[in-house]
Chains A and B, each alone.
Chain A
Amino acid sequence: MDLLGNLALGFATASTLANVGFCLIGVLLGTLIGVLPGIGATATIAMLLPITFQIGDPVSSLIMLAGIYYGAQYGGSTTAILINMPGESSSAVTAIDGYQMARNGRAGVALATAAIGSFVAGTIATVLIALFAPPLTTIALKFGSAEYCSLMVVGLVMSVALAHGSVVKAIAMVVLGLLLGLVGQDVISGASRLNFGLIQLGDQLNFVAIAVGLFGIAEILRNLEDERTREVLMARVTGLMPTREDFRRMAAPILRGTALGSALGILPGNGAVLAAFASYSIEKRVSDRPEEFGRGALAGVAGPESANNAGAQTSFIPMLTLGIPANPVMALMIGAMIIQGIVPGPNVAAENPALFWGLIASMWIGNLLLIILNLPLIGLWVKLLKVPYYVLFPIIMAFCSIGVYSVNSNVWDLYVVAFFGLLGYFLLKLRCEPAPLLLGFVLGPLLEENLRRAMILSRGDPTTFVTRPISAGLLLLAVAVLVVVFLPSVRRKREEVFVEEE
């Protein structure tokens, strides 16, 4: 079979000593920068692009850069769980329940769950890429603006499920997020909106800066309110590894998260972030213990972590099959290929089979290396929590600042972090949660942009959303979710949860 031959070529390419070495360097670096809050894979790969001149071999360069990318997805969840500081945009969701698990003394279990979920998701997604990359590309191309718009509607409807407190407050947060998403240049007309005459607000607000502020800085402020409570919380760490019962409960969320992440990762844009949010909503919906969500639910870590890692892997598909970047990291990979003399396009698999299949095989090797690296590290990470907080928090703040600054080399982003840190603290006091706000911020601009573009393409005919089959299907799904949310029985259950909270 052709596939076996291709995979054999891929593994032969990827398992040479040099390439495994580059893969290891990549995932190590990725884990490190994922752990440092703010510094994303994009900034790191951009900084390392010049090194690829020295490596000289396109396959090795790409294997290393790809390792950084998915290694960062692994590492990003570590700080999200330990200190509520999402190192990567897609691990913002992991912070919700992962950090609560850590506060309950289950940091080790949360970290292990994230690592195992990511490994399983990475493995399955790699197989998917090998088997179905071309047909999946065809589906991705069927997604026009109308389909995206309907997909965002589904996401928004689901977002209400993210909150574990008051629905009204959750909706308010989503709306605030949508409004923040409007800041910057209107894509269609080029008009500036809500920028108060500041050129720094001419573009969108920086997602990482907002996430670091709302989650991380706000949490630091809260912890500083009372130094003693935190030390007490962190002192009692129970069990580093998941129990048999934990394994049983993480299996289904991991598989669902993988499926969701794989599907959404193919779509250009914020696929992986959306996948993590969607996975969280679904897990909460199907769980027999929804009251645990927001207070340390294992499924709330397993699902989203798997989803974001699967999404990170499948976002390679458009680049590998079409030569089109699905996100800024993929754009960098394409830049790296061009520097090496390979211009990626629709024929890259046929013209450079060793590169194409070698990269795919290296992803699996990289995932294996990551889990081998990360499981033993868990004990070390958990020990980090024993560092006195008056030592830890200034270090966290310093790394955050360096990280956020490094993305655009822009001081303005630090002001954004500070502002959203204060806002986040204020919202915490009001018992409003930051997660729905972030989702609104991610979805709002995409929803608006695609809605308006779909209307331009249909020459102002709104029936385009229901006459295109995929779009109509997604809208039906949104209606179904709404019905479920407002069905009396479910609602009662939800209110019980709410009462219990108080």
Chain B
Amino acid sequence: MKSLLASIALAGAAFALPHAASAQTYPERTITVVVPFAAGGPTDTVTRLVAESMSKDLGQQVIVENVGGAGGTLGAGRVAQADPDGYTLLLHHIGMSTSATLYRKLPYDTLNAFEYIGLVTDVPMTIVARKDLEPTDLKGLIEYAKANADTVTVANAGIGAASHLCGMMFMSAIETPLVTVPYKGTGPAMTDLLGGQVDIMCDQTTNTTKQIQGGTIKAYAVTSPARLDVLPDVPTAEEAGLPGFQVGIWHGLYAPKGTPAEITERLSKSLQVALKDPNVVARFAELGTAPSPEADATPAALKAKLEAEIARWKPVIEAAGQYAD
């Protein structure tokens, strides 16, 4: 009996001292990456592909946990409060920067609640329309939209969604407010675009590539600096008449504030390995995106990106006057 008690006490002591040797021996157990959106969506898919590859490099399972809700802020808030031991991470997209303005009462301080690991990918957007919309190119679309600003409808997947951000950016770029039609998620928005119920949408290639290839919707431009291999006939916004119009749904990997630098460095290295995994590269390509280059998959690059994007979106969101709380 005494020895049993002693071993329980020992086990308790072992639990009480997890941080002491952790940085050297990290990782010793399963790592959880929180995705602040529902399973099955584009961000979830990106995370699962990267997590699978990082598992191999780290020698420990990296599992994905979906904590959806409130535009990604519930999941981010969860990680902000997690133990900074490197076993709870966050993979969030551009919404990390926009929710800093969209939500006036965030439960965490975006710039001070996280440590940075690195950028993962920058998914290009596409400006698409129902297949029978008259204009044949982006210049024509802009003229058409300006002439019919009262009737041209722009679909989006809800406040704070990638399509909502890109739609706002598009209207601000052409200096014409159009009729915004919000949906609950990309699925119903895309269904109505296919059915010709709405006119335009700007959404991630992860959602639009197959529809464009299948000819069920019309693509006017991609928002990346160069054309995409999967959509070689679609010009960039720059080429098609909207200079400077670049929007990407960038994804970053974060850890809670206070996670030791050795651990974030280790994770950053692992992320860089994963992003060169041929399987990850191939799957990303099918979705119309590419892994971030090694120089961007670093803590410094992600920190700079987040700061720049918060500053970039603040005026756009404030001008639109739409908040999520």
B136 at the interface (CB under 8 A from A): no
Q: Flag whether B323 is at the interface (Cβ < 8 A).
A: yes
Q: Is the Cβ of A459 less than 8 Å from the Cβ of B151? A: yes
B179 touches A459 (CB 8 A): yes
By a CB distance below 8 angstroms, the chain A residues around B301 are none
A398 close to B (CB within 8 Å): no
B231 at the interface (CB under 8 A from A): no
Residues of A within 8 A of B187 (CB): 268, 324-326, 331
Does chain A have a CB within 8 A of B38? Answer: yes
Interface: B242 (CB within 8 A): no
Contact with B along A318-335 (1 / 0, CB 8 A): 100011111010111111
Output the nearest chain A residue to B74 by Cβ-Cβ distance: A199
Stretch from A139-147, A223-231, A271-279, A295-303 at the B interface:
A139-147
Query: Once the chains bind, are B150 and A459 in contact (CB under 8 Å)?
Result: yes
Complex contacts, A456 vs chain B, CB 8 Å: 153, 179, 181
- B39:A335 contact, CB within 8 angstroms: yes
Q: Are B211 and A46 in contact (CB under 8 A)?
A: no
Is B213 a contact of A50 with CB atoms below 8 Å?
no
Provide the bound-state CA to CA distance between A188 and B67, in Å.
Answer: 23
Q: B72 → chain A, closest Cβ, in Å? A: 11
Contact of B287 among A143, A190, A343 (CB under 8 A): A343
**Smallest beta-carbon distance B218→chain A, Å:** 14
Interface residues of A in 346-400 (CB under 8 A from B): 346-347
B194, A324: Cβ atoms under 8 Å? yes
The interface residues of chain B lying within 8 Å CB-to-CB of A189 are: 322
Q: Is A495 an interface residue (CB 8 A)?
A: no
**Complex interface: chain B residues within 8 A of A324 (CB):** 187, 190-191, 194
Residue of A nearest to B52 (CB): A53
Does chain A have a CB within 8 A of B295? Answer: no
A457 touches B325 (CB 8 A): no
CA distance A268 to B216 in the complex (A): 18
A16 at the interface (CB under 8 A from B): no
B-chain residues with CB within 8 Å of residue A457 when the two chains form the complex: 153, 181, 197-198
**CB neighbors of A among B260-308 (8 A):** 282-283, 286-287
Flag if B38 contacts A145 (CB, 8 Å): no
Task: Chain A residues near B59: list those with CB within 8 A.
Answer: none
Residues on B facing A (Cβ under 8 Å):
38-41, 44-45, 48-49, 52, 63-70, 73-74, 77, 105, 107, 150-151, 153, 158-160, 179, 181-184, 187-188, 190-192, 194-198, 209-211, 213-216, 282-283, 286-287, 322-325
The 9 closest A-B pairs by CB, nearest first: A345-B210, A331-B40, A346-B214, A190-B159, A141-B195, A335-B40, A46-B39, A332-B40, A144-B197
Sample of 6 more A-B contacts, CB < 8 Å, known A199-B73, A346-B214, A456-B153: A46-B40, A187-B158, A188-B182, A199-B70, A335-B41, A338-B283
Binding site for B on A (CB under 8 A): 42, 45-46, 49-50, 53, 140-145, 185, 187-190, 192, 199, 202-203, 268-269, 318, 322-326, 328, 330-336, 338-339, 341, 343-347, 408-410, 449, 453, 456-457, 459
